[in-house]
């Protein structure tokens, strides 16, 4: 595995092209940090688009 210079220091960062790491942090242009509440992670946005099953 190649080392990404954006890694938070754990050595386990896997950062996608949008700057999101598997751990939930995001590259802000200077460092890895957790996104603000108004920013959503890609998988959260995808889940919000899917209808929820309703028991009935």
Per-residue pLDDT of 1-31, as tens digits, reads: 557 888 877 778 888 988 898 888 888 888 8
Q: How far apart are CA 53 and CA 29, in angstroms?
A: 38
SS3 20: strand
Q: Is 53 contained in some domain?
A: no
- For residue 50, what pLDDT band results from cuts at 50, 70 and 90? low
Q: For residue 16, what are the domain limits?
A: 1-35
Query: DSSP assignment, residue 50?
Result: S
Residue 11 domain-assigned (yes or no): yes
Structural domains in the chain (count): 1
State the Cα angle at 38 between 43 and 46, rounded to 5°: 20
Q: Is the pTM of this model over 0.85?
A: no
pLDDT of residue 29: 87
d(CA 56, CA 35): 36
């Amino acid at each position: 595995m190649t080392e990404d210079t954006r890694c938070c220091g754990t050595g386990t960062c896997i950062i996608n092209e949008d700057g999101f790491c598997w751990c939930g942090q995001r590259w802000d242009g200077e460092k890895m940090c957790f996104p603000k509440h108004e920013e959503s992670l890609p998988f959260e946005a995808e889940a919000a688009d899917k209808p929820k099953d309703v028991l009935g």
